[in-house]
């Protein structure tokens, strides 16, 4: 059985991982040590009383309460200084680590993370829970069975209003770092390796502030087999939506991922359906259970998510560079139009 340590009690740690751990422990108690979950955060306001959770101020303090060799760390801090935190965890003897996405926000940071993992013999699992979603499994089955012929294109829309969090969150420098990585993992799973064709970002604007590059993001990919994917995310949208559409030779499949932790049902409609299929789809709990089972293996090697996030980061970095390169031309067009 394994202990659990949640590092960081922000939105991801307190709002998602603690809740999911409670559900996972109830569903598969044989994986988890019956003692309380330990969590740490240096901010005093984050260390309030939490039922079933022992909260301390640092990972070093947590290591005094837990046996590192039998503990799974949920690293839920913002994606900055990840290499330093992974190094500290490795120095303290922790080896089983789940890292919240994004793994890093740039290629230099990713290289530093890889060096820290190599130095300490770490093979972290990176949160890629949309790959564990029942909706993704059903879409993959449709694609592999060629139920409607060959896959031609994929479009993903990930919209939500994120004004307040964006003003407080320094860990996600652009809209490419917020929702896009979720969808990238799915389209790479469904259609295979890809290269960037086009990308753009927009600013987040309100009457009170402007946040550069945090309004929305869009990218277009061409996969090795010829499939085209388009992923867009509007963080200024008035409503939430997580929709994916697959266009085949002879039909279409449209799915809707659960919108938040407040409901765990997905929906799927395919060509010829008279009704929508609605089914439970608690992907993050499924991911956590799979990760813990993987860590309990006598020889816990890589689970594949670290390499996948390296590819996701490569495409996100290419999209950012494309947008930066396009800025001078866009400025000149605006001047000419004026």
Q: For residue range 15-71, list pLDDT tens digits in order.
A: 899 999 999 999 999 999 998 999 999 888 777 778 889 999 999 999 999 999 999
Q: Do 141 and 92 have their domain in common?
A: no
Comparing 186 with 260, which gets the higher pLDDT?
186
Q: What per-residue confidence (pLDDT) applies to 322?
A: 96
Specify if 309 maps to a domain.
no
Domain boundary among 76, 99, 122: 122
Q: Do 115 and 85 have their domain in common?
A: yes
* 126: β partners: 99
Strands 228-234 and 210-223: antiparallel
Residues 141 and 61: beta-carbon distance below 8 Å? no
Which residues constitute the domain of residue 89?
3-122
Specify if 311 maps to a domain.
no
b/e map 118-130, b = 16+ CB within 10 Å: eebebbbbbbbbb
For residue 331, name the pLDDT band (cuts at 50, 70, 90). Answer: very low
Task: State the Cα–Cα distance between residues 107 and 163, nearest whole angstrom.
Answer: 27
Q: What per-residue confidence (pLDDT) applies to 105?
A: 80
Residues 132 and 287: beta-carbon distance below 8 Å? yes
Q: Do 193 and 269 have their domain in common?
A: yes
Q: Residue 242: which CATH number? A: 3.30.360.10
Number of domains in the chain: 2
Specify if 295 maps to a domain.
no
Specify if 181 maps to a domain.
yes
Segment 234-257 shows an average pLDDT of 97
Instruction: Give percent of the chain above pLDDT 90.
Output: 76
3-state secondary structure of 297: coil
Residue 261 confidence (pLDDT) above 70: yes
For residue 289, name the pLDDT band (cuts at 50, 70, 90). Answer: very high
Q: What per-residue confidence (pLDDT) applies to 209?
A: 94
Q: Do 109 and 208 have their domain in common?
A: no
Q: For residue range 107-151, list pLDDT tens digits in order.
A: 899 999 999 999 999 989 999 889 999 999 999 999 999 989 999
User: Which residues are CB-neighbours of 55 under 8 A, at least 6 positions away?
Assistant: 9, 38, 39, 40, 41, 46, 47, 48, 49
Q: Do 207 and 100 have their domain in common?
A: no
Q: Do 17 and 111 have their domain in common?
A: yes
Q: Do 115 and 202 have their domain in common?
A: no
Q: Do 134 and 256 have their domain in common?
A: yes
Q: What per-residue confidence (pLDDT) applies to 334?
A: 46
Mean per-residue pLDDT of the chain: 91
Task: Give the alpha-carbon dihedral of 80, 83, 88, 92, to 10 degrees.
Answer: 130
Q: Residue 86: which CATH number? A: 3.40.50.720
Q: Do 19 and 71 have their domain in common?
A: yes
Specify if 312 maps to a domain.
no
Specify if 13 maps to a domain.
yes
Specify if 291 maps to a domain.
no
Cα→Cα distances 79→121, 178, 260, 273, Å? 20, 11, 21, 42
Q: Do 179 and 253 have their domain in common?
A: yes
Q: Do 85 and 183 have their domain in common?
A: no
User: Which residues are CB-neighbours of 137 under 8 A, at least 6 positions away?
Assistant: none
Q: What per-residue confidence (pLDDT) applies to 332?
A: 46
Q: Do 116 and 140 have their domain in common?
A: no
Segment 254-276 shows an average pLDDT of 91
Q: What per-residue confidence (pLDDT) applies to 172?
A: 81
Strands 265-270 and 277-280: antiparallel
Q: What per-residue confidence (pLDDT) applies to 337?
A: 46
Specify if 198 maps to a domain.
yes
User: Which residues are CB-neighbours of 258 under 8 A, at least 6 positions away?
Assistant: 242, 264, 265, 266, 281, 282, 283
For residue 175, name the pLDDT band (cuts at 50, 70, 90). Answer: very high
Residue 333 confidence (pLDDT) above 60: no
Q: What per-residue confidence (pLDDT) applies to 50?
A: 85
Domain boundary among 63, 92, 122: 122
Q: What per-residue confidence (pLDDT) applies to 28?
A: 95
Cα→Cα distances 188→128, 140, 229, 243, Å? 12, 11, 9, 16
Its pTM stands at 0.88
């Amino acid at each position: 059985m394994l202990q659990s340590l949640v590092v960081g009690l922000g939105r991801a740690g307190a709002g998602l991982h603690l809740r999911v751990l409670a559900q996972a422990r109830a569903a598969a108690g044989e994986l988890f040590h019956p003692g309380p979950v330990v969590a740490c955060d240096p901010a005093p306001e984050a260390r309030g009383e939490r039922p079933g959770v022992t909260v301390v101020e640092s990972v070093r303090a947590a290591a005094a309460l837990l046996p590192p060799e039998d503990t799974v760390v949920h690293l839920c801090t913002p994606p900055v200084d990840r290499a330093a935190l992974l190094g500290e965890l490795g120095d303290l003897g922790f080896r089983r680590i789940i890292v919240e996405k994004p793994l890093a926000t740039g290629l230099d940071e990713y290289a530093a993370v890889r060096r820290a993992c190599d130095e300490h013999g770490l093979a972290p699992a990176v949160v890629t829970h949309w790959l564990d979603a029942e909706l993704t499994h059903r879409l993959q089955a449709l694609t592999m069975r060629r139920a409607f012929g060959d896959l031609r294109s994929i479009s993903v829309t990930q919209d939500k209003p994120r004004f307040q969090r964006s003003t407080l969150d320094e860990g996600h420098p652009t809209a490419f770092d917020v929702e896009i990585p979720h969808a990238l993992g799915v389209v790479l799973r469904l259609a295979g390796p890809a290269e960037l064709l086009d990308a753009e970002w927009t600013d987040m604007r309100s009457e009170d502030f402007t946040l550069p590059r945090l309004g929305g993001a869009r990218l277009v990919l061409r996969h090795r087999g010829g499939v085209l994917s388009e992923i867009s995310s509007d963080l200024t949208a008035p409503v939430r939506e997580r929709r994916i559409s697959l266009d085949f030779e002879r039909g279409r499949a449209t799915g809707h991922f659960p919108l938040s932790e407040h409901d765990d049902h997905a929906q799927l409609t395919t060509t010829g359906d008279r009704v929508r299929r609605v089914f439970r789809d608690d992907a993050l709990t499924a991911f956590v259970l799979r990760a813990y089972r993987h860590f309990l293996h006598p020889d816990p090697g890589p689970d594949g998510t670290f390499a996948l996030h390296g590819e996701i980061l490569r495409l996100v970095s290419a999209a950012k560079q494309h947008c930066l390169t396009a800025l001078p031309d866009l400025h000149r067009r605006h001047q000419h139009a004026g």
